[in-house]
Chain A
Amino acid sequence: MASLAATASLSAPAPMIDVQARRQSRTAWLLVAPAVILILAFIVAPLAAVVFLGFTDFELGYGSFRFVGFENYAELFSDRTFLKSLSNTALYTAIVAPVSLLLGLGLALLIESEKIGRSFFRTAYFLPVASLLVAMATVWQYLFHPSIGPINAGLRMIGLAGPNWLGASDMVLYSLAIIGIWQSAGFNMVLFLAGLTAIPRDLYAAAEVDGAKSALDRFLLVTWPMLGPTTLFVITISIINAVKVFETVKTLTEGGPNKASEVLLFTIYQEGFVYLRVGYASAMTVVFLAVLVVLMVLQYRLLDREVHYA
């Protein structure tokens, strides 16, 4: 075999190896072609288009458009609604991501250390992840209802006047955050549970023999560092999911009251698909994408440097 290949590569113009490689390459192209075409059609082309449109004043319904350079972007950063939307999204994310992360971790640790009812608890906390968010948001609207809602009814029973959860502009974002946490904590919990079961039992045994007396010592020596990759992943995905908040806003508040719950995707939706200002909404989309890219790059860098052990 070796000598055959050697002589072939010396003399023959088309060595045997090449024929095989070409055949394999042809098969490969056949297999990836549908995917490539669809990626180009539904991801690359629209992506290029969105960047392009961001520099135009294109509006749906009007035939023509013209280049406006960075005009859209200049407008964005003096647009009160957009700025409000950015800061609302940031605040929402700053609440939902850390709380759902810690809640998920706490639940996972509690469930892992408890023998009774494991699968019941896992189901109960995970149920919101598998439920239709639009539908459950409707239920939350009822729960949050200022006069007939059970939450305020309960508060009244103990003599407290409940707030107008979704109707007051200083309350609405927090109420949405509660729904967001409720919806995503179970997802994080399941990821942490998987991370916890992946920790070799021997490490805990070694920690005990090495003198880690208390549960806290063992958590600090083994659990927390070993969960590093999971934690980083959960952080990224929690932030990205929080930045993408849309369903609850669209269903419950439509950005109100007084734009107090305007969030990024909702603003893009309004500008692009309701007011049909496609060019302007495209510029917003580019900003939104930039946020995602920055988050991904951060995760990637950290993953490579800090928490990758193997």
Chain B
Amino acid sequence: MTAAPFTLGRAFRLGLLILGALVFLAPYIFMVSTSGKAQSEIFTSSLSLIPDRFYFVENFAKAFSRVSMPQLLWNGVVVCALILVFQVVIAVPCAYALAKLKFPAAKLMMALVMLGLLVPIHATALPLYVAFDRLSVLNSYVALVAPFSISVFGIFLFLQFFRAMPDDLIHAARLDGMSELGIVARVIVPNAWPAVTAFAIFSVVAHWNDLYWPLIVVSNQAYATPPLGLLYFRAAEAGDDYGALMAATLIITLPLVAAFLLAQKRFVEGITMTGLKG
């Protein structure tokens, strides 16, 4: 196809896209800009994006002093990593068995998976909270991670992926003398990487951003995840110190946004794959 001529319609289309992109990016622009402004300048409510006096250092210092940012980010990383590892280690073998092995309970198991797909954490939170309270495991990594150690969505996604894998591959592995567990470890897992990456992106985005469950089981800064920490920071920041607040949001938003910008293609693929299969 030759380059399309620059028609009026095309100019209109591009204009629309650029305008929309500006609107969608505006919050980020203002976040960065405001995190560099002094309190007094913010209160003049000027629309200028470049601060009169650069106040970045002061705002970021404030953000770091009120709430332990490294602790928040570390908690986020630990919780997301633990959740992901458990989810993959438990879901992959289960999905393999459902996709490729014949056993009597497979149908029942599928029904469980379908039921699980329907039930969000919000529906099971109350009894889980009561149980965790009785077991005195509130305010711990265990409480944050345990309910998500099983991802029926993960099982479902891997199941779809494994079904598309040729049976001959598994038959060949059996003829080559591998045990069933050996097949999972040496044939299935290495070939499941695209699905695992897609699922990893989905899982990390979901749990890094989750507020509901951490809000319920954590009441202690030591175990706060990034969204919860930001909530504490807001509470501690009586009044409208937007400069420091924006600095804090910037710090907390940055890791995932940076990861997204670096691995955009994978992100979009991952979300699309998980999205369409879900």
Taken together as a complex, chains A and B put the C-alpha atoms of A268 and B129 apart, in Å, by 13
Q: Is the CB of B260 within 8 A of A127?
A: yes
**Which label, helix, strand, loop or mixed, suits the secondary structure of the B interface?**
helix
Q: Is the CB of B101 within 8 A of A24?
A: yes
Q: Which B residue sits closest to A229, measured CB to CB?
A: B276
Taken together as a complex, chains A and B put the C-alpha atoms of A110 and B211 apart, in Å, by 34
Q: Is B256 an interface residue (CB 8 A)?
A: yes
CB distance from A181 to the nearest CB of B (A): 10
Q: Is B205 an interface residue (CB 8 A)?
A: yes
Q: Is the CB of A128 within 8 A of B122?
A: no
- Which residues of chain B have C-beta atoms less than 8 A from A39's C-beta? 112-113, 116, 150, 152
CB distance from B37 to the nearest CB of A (A): 11
Q: Which B residue sits closest to A271, measured CB to CB?
A: B126
Q: Is B17 an interface residue (CB 8 A)?
A: yes
Taken together as a complex, chains A and B put the C-alpha atoms of A117 and B257 apart, in Å, by 20
Known pairs A24-B103, A113-B13, A191-B272; A273 contacts B216 (CB<8 A): yes
Name the interface residues of B24-72: CB closer than 8 Å to any CB of A: 24-28, 30-31, 34, 42-43, 45-47
- Which residues of chain B have C-beta atoms less than 8 A from A194's C-beta? 272, 275-276
Known pairs A251-B234, A278-B130; A145 contacts B115 (CB<8 A): no
CB distance from A32 to the nearest CB of B (A): 5
Q: Is the CB of B123 within 8 A of A285?
A: yes
- Which residues of chain B have C-beta atoms less than 8 A from A142's C-beta? 30, 34, 242, 245-246
Q: Which A residue sits closest to B104, measured CB to CB?
A: A25
Q: Is the CB of A139 within 8 A of B27?
A: yes
Q: Is the CB of B94 within 8 A of A123?
A: no
Taken together as a complex, chains A and B put the C-alpha atoms of A46 and B125 apart, in Å, by 8
- Which residues of chain B have C-beta atoms less than 8 A from A123's C-beta? 261, 264
Known pairs A50-B127, A125-B24, A130-B205; A292 contacts B253 (CB<8 A): no
Q: Is the CB of A288 within 8 A of B275?
A: no
Taken together as a complex, chains A and B put the C-alpha atoms of A131 and B97 apart, in Å, by 35
Known pairs A43-B124, A250-B211; A127 contacts B25 (CB<8 A): yes
Taken together as a complex, chains A and B put the C-alpha atoms of A21 and B155 apart, in Å, by 23
Known pairs A142-B34, A190-B268, A285-B122; A237 contacts B227 (CB<8 A): no
Report A30-57 CB contacts with B as 1/0, cut-off 8 Å: 1110111011001111110110010000
Taken together as a complex, chains A and B put the C-alpha atoms of A273 and B149 apart, in Å, by 23
Q: Is B252 an interface residue (CB 8 A)?
A: yes
Q: Is B173 an interface residue (CB 8 A)?
A: no
Q: Is the CB of A288 within 8 A of B256?
A: no
CB distance from B103 to the nearest CB of A (A): 4
- Which residues of chain B have C-beta atoms less than 8 A from A29's C-beta? 103, 105
Taken together as a complex, chains A and B put the C-alpha atoms of A149 and B64 apart, in Å, by 24
Q: Is A138 an interface residue (CB 8 A)?
A: yes
Q: Is B172 an interface residue (CB 8 A)?
A: no
Q: Is the CB of B30 within 8 A of A110?
A: no
Q: Which A residue sits closest to B113, measured CB to CB?
A: A39
Q: Is the CB of A44 within 8 A of B46?
A: no
Taken together as a complex, chains A and B put the C-alpha atoms of A136 and B126 apart, in Å, by 28
Name the interface residues of B139-164: CB closer than 8 Å to any CB of A: 146-147, 149-150, 152, 155
Known pairs A31-B101, A39-B152; A114 contacts B27 (CB<8 A): no
Q: Is the CB of B208 within 8 A of A132?
A: yes
Q: Is the CB of B211 within 8 A of A32?
A: no
Q: Is the CB of A265 within 8 A of B212?
A: yes
Q: Is A121 an interface residue (CB 8 A)?
A: yes
Within 8 Å by CB of A237, from B16, B17, B42, B278, lies: B278
- Which residues of chain A have C-beta atoms less than 8 A from B209's C-beta? 132-134, 247
Known pairs A24-B101, A34-B90, A272-B129; A114 contacts B17 (CB<8 A): yes
Taken together as a complex, chains A and B put the C-alpha atoms of A136 and B205 apart, in Å, by 14
Q: Is B167 an interface residue (CB 8 A)?
A: no
Q: Is the CB of A25 within 8 A of B123?
A: no
Q: Is the CB of B150 within 8 A of A121?
A: no
Name the interface residues of B55-93: CB closer than 8 Å to any CB of A: 90-91, 93
Taken together as a complex, chains A and B put the C-alpha atoms of A63 and B43 apart, in Å, by 52
Q: Is the CB of A38 within 8 A of B149?
A: yes
Q: Is B223 an interface residue (CB 8 A)?
A: no
Name the interface residues of B209-230: CB closer than 8 Å to any CB of A: 209, 211-212, 215-216, 226-227, 230
Q: Is the CB of A272 within 8 A of B125?
A: yes
CB distance from A30 to the nearest CB of B (A): 8
Closest 5 pairs (CB-CB, A-B): A49-B127, A38-B150, A46-B124, A35-B94, A28-B103
Pairs A–B under 8 Å by Cβ, sample size 30:
A24-B180, A31-B96, A34-B93, A35-B155, A46-B123, A47-B119, A113-B13, A114-B14, A121-B17, A124-B24, A128-B24, A131-B253, A132-B227, A134-B211, A135-B226, A135-B227, A135-B252, A140-B27, A143-B26, A143-B30, A148-B42, A150-B47, A187-B271, A194-B276, A251-B234, A265-B212, A273-B125, A288-B122, A288-B123, A289-B118
